[in-house]
């Protein structure tokens, strides 16, 4: 903004024409310009839209701060080029600050007032000598700016000096610390060098000891190899002697066996000759066998040699447990039990394992009391796996093989007994009972054995 006075419409202060002739054609100080724009923005709201220049009407509804921000240049240009707008702004300023406006019109601005405020008011009101006031305010603002710049420079200089002194102190302290660290590093390096020289000496001594040890190991290996070679030679020699000894021993054994064989053959030939001669004499004389006596040919029953069939003729019931006691009292009696036939008759709801254990426990007690031989037969087809069972004392436990039933195994046991031995078979199976009866055994019902076992418990 350039300070140039122009004639305004309406009344002008006295001496305005002279001031216009002496107008200053120089840039307005920035501080004065901002203050002029602020005055125009404050007075802007008191004008109607018709009273505003056309470029400024769009800012009519802005706040003073927004008008100063967005319309500052336009208002400065309008104040410079539109005397009527400038005069209206001046009137609003007179209403807002009548004392300062009056002092400026009287030509005696207040000494205590801010030169920038005075210059801005003079630019708007245009009293006599307003250009000088604006110029003086600019010079004052420049001096103030220069003084502030000097003061800021002095403060900045003092700050830089303080920072420089602090940096120097820190540099000295850092230098001292680095020197200390350097001395410590040098001492540590000297210590490490001494340790390195000592370690090198130890390594050299270790290498020398290692070479000596290696030499000793090589000597020991050579000596061991010689000893091993000598031992192998001695072993081969001993093996050769052992082979010779074994061959001689085998030859002597073979000779002894051949000698014994000849003698055995002679004795066997002599014995066969004697036996054949005796048999020829027996045939010639028609002599009976010496194992048969005349009394053995008499048809009678010896005392204590009653058969199971003779006992069956007594007046005992087939369900009386005393019948079983009488049968087991016979000499060399053998009791054969159809295991599962008895257990499934007496306690069928129990698991098979517990059935077997309960029956075998009762048979063990029965065998202990009667002294009879007891054999209990179970069907192997009932088993899902091999049975781990320790037979009780006095009871033989047998399981039929795959493909063989317990009934067939019982019949085999009966057929294996010599004729005349008392054999009692416990089974409710009619086929089993009939089969063993044909082989000379005495069948009894399972209920009879269960009653007898119940007396033991």
List CB contacts of 95: < 8 A, sequence separation 6 or more.
46
Residue 376's φ and ψ, nearest 5 degrees, are -110, 125
Q: What is the pLDDT of residue 4?
A: 41
Are the C-beta atoms of residues 19 and 131 closer than 8 Å to each other? yes
List CB contacts of 155: < 8 A, sequence separation 6 or more.
none
pLDDT band at 447 (very low <50, low <70, confident <90, very high): very high
pTM: 0.35
Are the C-beta atoms of residues 452 and 374 closer than 8 Å to each other? no
Write the DSSP string, 94-135. HHH-HHHHHHHHTT---TTS-HHHHHHHHHHH--TTHHHHHH
Q: What is the pLDDT of residue 123?
A: 75
pLDDT band at 380 (very low <50, low <70, confident <90, very high): confident
Q: What is the pLDDT of residue 250?
A: 82
pLDDT at 297 over 60: no
Burial class (CB in 10 A: 0-12, 13-18, 19+), 428: middle
pLDDT at 351 over 60: yes
pLDDT band at 299 (very low <50, low <70, confident <90, very high): very low
Q: What is the pLDDT of residue 17?
A: 41
pLDDT at 177 over 80: yes
Q: What is the pLDDT of residue 137?
A: 65
Q: What is the pLDDT of residue 272?
A: 59
Radius of gyration of the chain (CA): 74
* Exposure string for 250-261, b = 16+ CB within 10 A, e = fewer: eeeeeeeeeeee
Average pLDDT over every residue of 32-59: 74
Q: What is the pLDDT of residue 426?
A: 95
pLDDT band at 375 (very low <50, low <70, confident <90, very high): very high
Q: What would the pLDDT profile of 310-330 be if each residue is shown by its tens digit?
A: 544 444 566 788 888 888 888
List CB contacts of 379: < 8 A, sequence separation 6 or more.
339, 340, 399, 400, 405, 406
- Please provide the distance, in angstroms rounded to a whole number, between the alpha carbons at the two ends of the chain: 138
Are the C-beta atoms of residues 425 and 453 closer than 8 Å to each other? no
Q: What is the pLDDT of residue 97?
A: 75
Q: What is the pLDDT of residue 266?
A: 53
pLDDT band at 10 (very low <50, low <70, confident <90, very high): very low
pLDDT band at 441 (very low <50, low <70, confident <90, very high): very high
Q: What is the pLDDT of residue 377?
A: 94
pLDDT at 122 over 90: no
Q: What would the pLDDT profile of 181-236 be if each residue is shown by its tens digit?
A: 999 999 999 999 999 999 999 999 999 999 999 999 999 999 989 999 888 888 88
Q: What distance lies between CA 156 and its chain's CA centroid?
A: 66
Q: What would the pLDDT profile of 395-437 be if each residue is shown by its tens digit?
A: 999 998 888 889 999 999 999 888 888 999 999 999 999 999 9
């Amino acid at each position: 903004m350039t300070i140039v006075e122009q004639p305004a419409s309406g009344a002008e202060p006295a001496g305005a024409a002279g001031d216009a002739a002496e107008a200053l054609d120089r840039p307005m100080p920035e501080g004065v310009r901002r203050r002029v724009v602020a005055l125009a923005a404050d007075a802007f709201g008191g004008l109607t839209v018709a009273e505003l220049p056309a470029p400024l009407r769009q800012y009519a509804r802005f706040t003073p701060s927004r008008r100063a921000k967005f319309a500052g240049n336009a208002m400065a240009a309008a104040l410079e080029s539109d005397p009527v707008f400038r005069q209206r702004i001046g009137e609003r300023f007179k209403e807002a600050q009548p004392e300062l406006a009056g002092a400026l019109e009287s030509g005696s601005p207040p000494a205590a007032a801010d030169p920038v405020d005075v210059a801005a008011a003079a630019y708007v009101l245009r009293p006599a000598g307003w250009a000088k006031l604006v110029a003086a305010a600019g010079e004052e603002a420049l001096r103030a700016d220069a003084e502030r710049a000097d003061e800021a420079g002095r403060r900045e200089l003092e700050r830089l000096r303080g920072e420089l002194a602090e940096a120097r102190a820190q540099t000295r302290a850092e230098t001292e610390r680095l020197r200390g660290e350097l001395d410590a590093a040098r001492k540590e390096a000297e210590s490490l060098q001494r340790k390195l020289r000592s370690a090198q000496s130890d390594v050299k001594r270790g290498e020398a000891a290692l070479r000596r040890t290696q030499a000793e190991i090589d000597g020991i290996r050579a000596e061991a190899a010689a000893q091993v070679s000598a031992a192998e030679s001695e072993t081969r020699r001993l093996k050769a002697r052992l082979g010779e000894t074994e061959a001689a021993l085998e030859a002597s054994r073979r000779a002894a066996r051949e000698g014994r064989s000849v003698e055995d053959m002679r004795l066997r030939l002599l014995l066969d000759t004697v036996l054949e001669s005796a048999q020829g004499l027996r045939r010639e004389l028609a002599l009976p066998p010496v194992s048969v006596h005349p009394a053995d040919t008499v048809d009678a029953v010896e005392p204590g040699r009653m058969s199971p069939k003779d006992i069956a003729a007594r007046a005992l019931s087939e369900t009386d447990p005393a019948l079983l006691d009488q049968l087991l009292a016979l000499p060399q009696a053998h009791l054969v039990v159809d295991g599962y036939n008895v257990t499934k008759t007496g306690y069928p709801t129990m698991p098979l394992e517990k059935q077997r254990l309960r029956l075998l426990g009762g048979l063990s007690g029965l065998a202990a009391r009667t002294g009879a031989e007891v054999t209990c037969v179970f069907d192997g087809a009932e088993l899902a796996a091999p049975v781990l069972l320790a037979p009780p004392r006095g009871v033989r436990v047998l399981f039929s093989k795959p493909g063989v039933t317990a009934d067939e195994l019982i019949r085999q046991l009966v057929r294996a007994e010599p004729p005349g031995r008392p054999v009692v078979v416990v089974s409710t199976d009619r086929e089993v009972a009939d089969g063993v009866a044909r082989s000379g055994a005495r069948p009894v019902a399972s209920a009879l054995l269960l009653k007898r076992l119940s007396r033991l418990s």
